Structure 1
Amino acid sequence: MAPSNSRAIVYSAIVALGGLIFGLDAVLISGGVDLIREEFSLSDWGLGFVVSSPGLGVLFALLATGWFCNALGRKKTLLGIAFIYVLSAIWSAVAPSWWQLAAARFLGGLAFTSLSLGPMYIGEIAPSRWRGKLVTLSQINTVIGLSGAYFINLGIVAASQSDAPWIRSIGLEPDNLWRHMLGSEIPPALLWFGLLFLIPESPRWLMFRGRDAEAEAALRRIAPESEFDERLAEIKQGLDAESKNLPVLDQVYKLLKPGLRTAVIIGLTIAIAQQATGINAIYFYAPTVFKQLGFDTNAAFVQAAVMGVISAVFAVLALFVVDRLGRRPVVLLGFFWIIASLGLCAYGFSQAKYRLTETGVATLPAGLDVTLLSPLLGKPFDSDMAFKSALAEAIGETEARRHENLLLESSVDLPAGLIVGGILSFIAAFQFSVGPVMWILLSEIFPTSVRGVAIPIFHFVTGMTSYVVQFLFPVALSTFGAAAVFGSFIAIPLLGLIVLHFCLPETKNLSIEEIQAAFAGKSAIRSVQA
C-alpha cells in the first residue's frame, strides 16, 4: 500500500484488534472446560450453558447495536465494547459460582459485536482497492487471538507442572488453572480500550448524519490530499439524501425491497452456513475433542495449539488471495473444502472401537472402586456413546464423567491421524474462505443508510446459529456420538454452497456505490481485472 494511505492502515489495525480480543475471550475457556465442569459439578447441559453464554449475550447486544452505532457513531460504540471486554474478563477470572461465571461470560458476549462493527468501520474508511485486505485484518486478528489463546492455555498448563517457587507464589494450582486462563485476557483488552481513543469517527457515518464539516475533517485524517476529493465524492454519491436518519424499522423494511433482496439472501445464507459447520464448537471445545481421540491432557493442548497455528497461517493466506482471486471463487471453494474435511472426520469417528483394558483401569485414582468395572474388561464397543453409557452404568454418571478422559485414552482404537488431518483441513478451509470473506461481503453489499442495521442483523443470525451449536455440542456428543455430530455439520453448508453458487456475484475491486447500484439493477457487475 502506498505510504499516503498509512493512516488508514494504522486506524484499521487498531480497530481490527477487536478481533484479537474476541478470539481470546471466545477460546481461552476451552482449556478450562473439564476443570470448570469438575469444580461446579456441571452436567452436559450446564457445561453447554456456561461455555455458550457469550453467544447468548451477543444475541441481546445485536438487538441494540444497530441503534447504538447509528445514533452514537462507530467510535463511541467500539469504545463501549472494549470497556465491556475488560469488565467481563475480570469478573470471569474471580467468579465464585457457575452462574456468576455464566453471567460474566454473558457480559463478554455483549462485546462480541466487535466482530461485525470492526469490519464495518474499516470498510467505511478504507479505499475500495484495499478494502478486502484491510477488512480481513479483523479476521486475521481473530485467528491470532484464537491461536494465542491455545498457546496461553498450553503455557499455563505447562507452568502448573513446574515446582518453581514463583509458580506457587502467584497461586497457579491445578484446580484454578481456568481462572488464570480467563484472566489472561485483561491486559490486551485494556490496551485495545486505550488505543481506540486515537481513531477518528467514520466520515461516512458523519456525512450520513448530516455533519458534513466534521466528515471532511475526519476524512482528511484518513485519506491523502491527492485522493481527498475523489473519496469525498464517492461518499456523497453513495448517500441517498432521502435515506438519511431513517428509523431502525424503516431501515429493516428497506432491506426487504427488490434492490436489496439478493444481498439479503446472500447475507442470510452465508451467516447460517458459516456457523453451521460447527467451527466454534471445535474451537471452544478443542482439547475435549482431541481427548475423544485418546490424547492425554498435554497432547490434547498441543494439538489445539497446532490447530491455532493452522488458523493463523491460512487466515494470512486469505489476506493475500481475497483481492486477487475474488470473493466468489474463494467462498465456493471454501464450502466444498469444508464439506470434504468434515466428511473425513465423520468417517474416521465411525471407525472407532472401544475396549476397556486392565492397563486403563490401573490409571484410575485409588479412591475409586475399580472392581465395578470388571464386567466391562475386554468387552468391545462400536461407538463412543455406547462406551460412555456402559461406564456410567458401572460406576455412576459423575465418576464416569470425571475419569472419562483417562478411560478413553487407554481404550479407544480409531484412525486418529485421519481425524486430526480432517479437523486441521477443516480449520484451514474455514480460515482461508468463509471465515474472513463473510465479513468482507457484509461490509460491501449493503448501502450506508442500512449498513448499521443490516450487519448487526446478519451477525445476529450468525450468533444464533453459533449459540445453538455451542450449547448443544456437549449433549449431542454424549447422546449421538462424534461420528453423527460431525456428519450433521455437513448438511447446511452443502445447502449454502448450492444457494451461493446461483446468487453470489463477484464484488472484487468494486466501490461500495458500484455494488449497491448492481444489486439495485442500475448496472451489471462488471468484470474487473486484479
Structure 2
Amino acid sequence: MSSYKINAFTYALIVALGGFIFGLDAALISGTVKFITEEFNLNSMQLGIVVGSPSIGVLLALFFTGSACNSLGRRKTLQIIASLYLISAIASALAPSYWSLVAARFLGGLAFSSISVASMYIGEIAPPQWRGKLVSMTQINIVLGLSAAYFINYSIIQLTSSDAAWVTSLGIKQYTWRWMLGSEIVPAFLWLILLFFIPRSPSWLVYNGKTEEAKNTLRKIIPEAEINVQIEEMIQSMQSGNQDQSLVSQLKQIFSKPMRNTFIIAMTIAIAQQATGINAILFYAPTVFEQIGGGTDAAFVQSIWVGLTSIVFTVLGLVLVDKLGRRPLIIWGMAWIILSLGICFYGFKTARYTLTPTSITELTSINNAERLQTIAGKEYGSDIEFKKALEESLGEADARKYSSQLIQKAADINAVLILFGILSFIAAFHFSVGPVMWVLFSEIFPIAIRGIAIPFFTLITSIVSMLVQVFFPEQLATMGISYTLLFYAITVAIGLVILYYYLIETKNMTIEEIQLKLQKK
C-alpha cells in the first residue's frame, strides 16, 4: 500500500472514530431503559424524551455546525464535538435526577453532528476511487460502537448477579445504568486526543484562500502530479457556485433551480433513512426483544446479535459500495428493508397473549400476583390489548415494571420468524441506506455550499430520528408493535419510489463531475 493511501486511510479512520463514539452514546441508553424508568418512575413520554434528548440536541447543533465548519474549519469543529461527547458522558453517569440526565444527554446530542462533519471531512480528503470506502468507515465505526454498547450493557447485567467483592465495592449492582453510560468516557477522551493529529481539509483551505497549505495537505494523500489538477477543480467548483458566502445565500442556493435534483435526492434519503425506524430498534433493542417473550436476559443477548449483524453487513456494504455503485445498494436495500419490516409485522400481528392460572401462580416475584386472576385464561389478540389488561389488573406502575416477565409467560408468538425479520432489517439497513446516505452526502454538493448543505440535510434526518425515538414508546402504547413497524414500512416505500426516479449513480466520479451530471439530469 502506497504512503498516500496509508495517510488517507489513517486520517479517515481517526475522523471516523467519531462514529464509534456516536454508536456507543446512542445504544448504551438501550440497556438503561428499565433501570431509569424504575428509578425516576417515568411514563412512556418521559422515557421517550430521555432516550431521544440527544436527537433534540443535535437539532440545535446543526443550526451552527455549517457556520462552524466554514469559519473554524472541519478539524476544529470535530475537536469541539469530541469535547462535548466527553463532558456529556461524565454528566450522564453522575446525573442526580431525571432532568439532569435529560440535560446531559441533550449536551451529548450537540455532538451528534459528528457524523455529518466526519462525512464532509473524509469526502474532501478521499481520492474519488476510495471515497465510498473511506466515507463508509464512519458507518463501520457506528455499528462497532453499537455492538460495543450492547456487549458492555450485557456484561454489566451479568456482573449484577455476581457476589464478587470488587463488583460490590464499585457499586455496579446499585448503579447499573450509571456504569453503562459512564463507559463512554474513555473512548471519547482518546478520540479528542487523536483529532489533534489530522490535517485541515484541503477543500476548506481552498475555500478560505489558503491554496499553498491545501497543496501541502494534498501531498500527503495524492501524487504530486495530481495536485494542481485537484486544486483547479476545487477552484472551478467554487467559482461555478454563488460567490456570496453568507449563510442565507448558501441556503438559498440549496433551494435554487440548478440544485433541484440534488435537493430531491438529499431530502428523500434524509427522511427515508430514519423513517425506517432503525433508531427505534437500536435504541430500544432490549425493549423490542422483550415483546417477543424471551425475558430481560434473552433480550440483552439478542441485542448483541443486532450488533454483530450490523458489523457483518456494514463491512459487506463497504466492500461493494465502490463496485456495485450507490444506486443499486440504495434501491435494492430499501426494498429489502420493506420486506423485512413486513415479516416483523406479520409475526407480531399473528401473536396471541394468554395468562393461564398455572402461570400466574408461578409469578412469585410479583406482589399480590392474584390480582391477575381477573384476566386468567383470556386470550388477547395484540400486545397493546394485553398491556391494557395488565394495567387494569395491576395498575400502571406495576404493569410497566413487570411487563417483560408477564409477556414472557403469556406470549404465543413465532419468535424465530420475528427475530429473523428484525435481523434481516438490521442487515438491509447497514448494507444499504445506512452507510450509503453519508457517501452520497459527501459527493452530491458543490464545494461552495457543502459546508452548509451537509449539516442542513443532516438536520432533516436528525429531526426524523428525534421524532422516531421520542414517540416510539407512545406508539408501542397506542398502536402496538405490529402497526408501528407497518407504518415504518409504508414510509420507506414512498421514499423508494421517489429515489427510483431521481437517484443517479456517482461511483468513481469526482465531486465536480457529479455536479455536472446532476444539473444535466
Tell me: CA distance 1:180–1:392, structure 2 relative to 1, closer, same or farther (3 Å). Answer: same
Offset of 1:425 from its aligned partner?
Answer: 0.2
How far off is 1:297 after superposition? 1.4
Tell me if structure 2 keeps the 8 A contact 1:360–1:407: no
Using the TM superposition, give the Cα deviation of residue 365 of structure 1 relative to its aligned residue in structure 2, in angstroms. Answer: 5.0
Q: How does 1:211-290 map to 2 (within 5 A)?
A: 211-240=210-239, 243-244=242-243, 246-290=245-289
State the AA in 1 paired with 2:271. Answer: I
Aligned to 1:402: 401
- In the alignment, which residue of structure 2 is the partner of 1:496? 495
Give the conservation status (yes or no) of the 8 Å contact 1:258–1:520.
no
Match of 2:84 in 1: 84
Does 1:136 find its partner at 2:111?
Answer: no
Letter of the 1:88 counterpart: S
SS at match of 2:323: helix
**Deviations 1:351-402 (CA, angstroms, capped at 9, x unpaired):** 1101112444345455612222111111111111111111111111111111
**What is the distance in 1 between the residues matched to 2:433 and 2:179?**
32
Equivalents in 1 of 2:389, 2:175: separation in Å?
Answer: 31
Which residue does the alignment assign to 2:113? 113
2:467 alignment partner in structure 1:
468
Aligned to 1:337: 336
Aligned to 1:321: 320
Residues of 1 paired with 2:358 and 2:283: CA distance? 31
Helix, strand or coil: the match of 2:148? helix
CA distance in 2, matches of 1:366, 1:348: 29
Q: Structure 2 regions of 5+ residues with no counterpart?
A: none
Per-residue deviation, residues 381-432 of structure 1 (Å, max 9, x unmatched): 1111111111111111111111111101111001111000000000000000
Question: For residues 182-221 of structure 1, what are the structure 2 equivalents within 5 Å?
Answer: 182-221=181-220
Q: CA–CA distance in 2 between the matches of 1:248 and 1:164?
A: 58
* Aligned equivalent of 2:95: 95
Query: Could you report, residue by residue, the CA deviation over 1:39-95 in whole angstroms, capped at 9, with x for unpaired residues?
Result: 000000100010000010000101111111011100000000000000000000010
Provide Cα deviations, 1:230-262, integer angstroms capped at 9, x if missing partner: 333332332217645610110011112222110
The residue aligned with 2:66 is: 66
Q: Distance in 2 between matches of 1:242 and 1:506?
A: 22
1:5/1:224 contact within 8 Å kept: no
SS in 2 for 1:507: coil
Whole-angstrom distance in 1 between the partners of 2:20 and 2:243: 33
1:280 is displaced (CA, Å) by: 0.3
Per the alignment, residue 32 of structure 2 pairs with: 32
> Which deviates more from structure 2 when the two are superposed, residues 213-222 or residues 59-68?
213-222
For residues 423-502 of structure 1, what are the structure 2 equivalents within 5 Å? Answer: 423-502=422-501
214-223 or 463-472, which deviates more: 214-223
Displacement over 4 Å in runs of 4+: none
Query: Between the two proteins, what is the percent identity of the paired residues?
Result: 52
**Match in the other structure for 1:527:** none
Number of residue pairs matched? 521
Q: 1:250 aligns to what SS in structure 2?
A: helix
Counterpart residue number, 2:149 = 149
Give the TM-score normalised by structure 1: 0.96
3-state SS of paired residue (1:218): helix
Q: Distance in 1 between matches of 2:418 and 2:90?
A: 36
Distance in 1 (alpha carbons) for counterparts of 2:415 and 2:241: 60
**1:206 corresponds to which letter in structure 2?**
L
Q: Which residue of 2 aligns with 1:422?
A: 421
Name the counterpart of 1:528.
none
What amino acid is aligned across from residue 342 of structure 2 in structure 1? G
Deviation by residue 1:312-364 (Cα, 9 ceiling, x = unmatched): 00000011100000001110001100000000000100011011124443454
Instruction: Give TM-score, length-normalised by structure 2.
Output: 0.98
Hey, what's the Cα distance between the residues in 2 that align with 1:2 and 1:506? 28
Question: 1:197 is matched by which residue type in structure 2?
Answer: F
Between the aligned partners of 2:278 and 2:123, the Cα distance in structure 1 is 25
Q: Deviations over 1:295-324 (max 9, x none)?
A: 121111110001100000000001110000
Q: 2:224 is matched by which residue type in structure 1?
A: E
Q: 3-state SS of the aligned residue for 1:354?
A: strand
Partners of 1:85 and 1:363 lie apart in 2 by: 45
User: Deviations 1:81-129 (Å, cap 9, x if unpaired)?
Assistant: 0000000000000101111101100000000001111010000001011
**What amino acid maps onto 1:57 in structure 2?**
G
* Mapped contact 2:360–2:373 kept (Cα < 8 A): no
Q: What are the Cα deviations for residues 487-526 of structure 1, in whole angstroms up to 9, with x where unaligned?
A: 11111110111001101111110000101122233xx7xx
In structure 1, C-alpha distance between the alignment counterparts of 2:402 and 2:366, rounded to whole Å: 12
1:438, 1:391 → 2: CA distance? 42
CA drift at 1:226:
4.4
Given that 2:504 and 2:518 are in contact with CA atoms closer than 8 Å, whether structure 1 keeps it comes out as no
- Aligned-partner Cα distance in 2 for 1:120–1:89: 25
- Are the structure 2 counterparts of residues 365 and 48 from structure 1 closer, same or farther at C-alpha, using a change threshold of 3 Å? farther
What's the RMSD between the two structures over aligned residues? 1.4
* 8 Å contact kept, 2:202–2:214: yes
Q: CA deviation at 1:225?
A: 2.9
Tell me if the contact between 1:7 and 1:223 (Cα under 8 Å) persists in the aligned partners: no
CA distance in structure 2 between the aligned counterparts of 1:195 and 1:330, rounded to whole angstroms: 32
Indicate conservation of the 8 Å contact 1:18/1:138, yes or no: yes
2:385 equivalent in structure 1: 386
